């Protein structure tokens, strides 16, 4: 090849190197498949909540787009707000008393007479095991009780008594998932003096009181 031909070839290669390679350029927001999901961060979940006063104390009802994510009963409203913040650290929490008023009122009404299955939609989050435990707990009728051993047997895990107890302790659905009706095996009746002051036994006694009032009213 002569000098002029070699010069033309060099110029062509140089021009090709300088031209932008549009087809090989990666998109600005690529997706890593089969690794850690999208590169772009998802927006935080919005959870709206309202508060009210129930027969057993101040209550907070929080909801996602799918349904109620928690029903809390505490000693003060300030404690409710602290606990909902600790419960959903990654969510965008919106206190919406007006928007949640109807749902809160329905929860308060249910707590006043927790007979039958809680009918409002629930967005229950937990492991598969926890879901089984909580669903079984929802079958316990008003003013009746069960124990951890019976729940474990009912879900086909008779040796998982401690795990059942832990699941009941970690339910965030006061009265809607009535874990207060699941007692220690030695507790045969709803009313007892053991473990005084605990929410679990106070609420079981509260329901026993409602039943007694109902019976007294029917005798009049």
Per-domain boundaries in the chain: 40-123, 127-220
Residue 7, pLDDT score: 55
Selecting among 100, 143, 168, 179, the annotated active-site residue is 179
Per the annotation, the verdict on 179 as an active-site residue is yes
Give the tens place of pLDDT for each residue, 184-209: 775 544 444 445 457 878 999 999 99
Is 31's pLDDT higher than 50?
no
pTM: 0.75
Q: Which residues pair with 49 in a beta bridge?
A: 62, 95
Tokens for 207? Answer: 């329901």
Give the tens place of pLDDT for each residue, 49-63: 999 999 999 999 999
Give the tens place of pLDDT for each residue, 68-112: 999 999 999 999 999 999 999 999 999 999 999 999 999 999 999
Phi, psi of 95 (to 5 degrees): -80, 115
CATH class of 40-123: alpha beta
Residue 6, pLDDT score: 55
127-220 topology per CATH: Arc Repressor Mutant, subunit A (1.10.10)
The fraction of the chain above a pLDDT of 90, given in percent, is 67
Return d(Cα 133, Cα 12) in angstroms, integer.
Answer: 73
Whole-angstrom CA distances from 105 to 5, 113, 172 are 89, 13, 18
């Amino acid at each position: 090849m002569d000098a002029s031909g070699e010069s033309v070839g060099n110029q062509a290669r140089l021009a090709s190197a300088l031209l932008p390679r549009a087809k090989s350029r990666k998109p600005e927001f690529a997706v890593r498949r089969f690794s850690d999901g999208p590169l772009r961060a998802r927006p935080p979940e919005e959870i709206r909540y309202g508060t009210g006063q129930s027969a057993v104390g101040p209550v907070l009802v929080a909801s996602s787009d799918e349904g109620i994510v928690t029903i809390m009963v505490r000693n003060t409203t300030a404690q409710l707000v602290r606990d909902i913040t600790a419960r959903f650290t990654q969510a965008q929490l919106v206190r919406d008393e007006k928007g949640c008023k109807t749902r809160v009122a329905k929860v308060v009404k249910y707590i006043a007479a927790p007979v039958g299955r809680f009918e409002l939609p629930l967005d229950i989050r937990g492991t598969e095991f926890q879901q089984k435990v909580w669903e079984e707990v929802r079958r316990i009728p008003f003013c009746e009780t069960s124990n951890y051993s019976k729940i474990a047997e009912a879900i086909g895990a008779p040796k998982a008594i401690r795990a059942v107890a832990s699941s009941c302790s970690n339910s965030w659905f006061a009265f809607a998932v009535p874990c207060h009706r699941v007692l220690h095996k030695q507790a045969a009746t709803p009313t007892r003096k053991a473990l005084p002051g605990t929410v679990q036994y106070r609420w079981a006694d509260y329901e026993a009181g409602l039943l007694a009032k109902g019976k007294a009213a029917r005798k009049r």
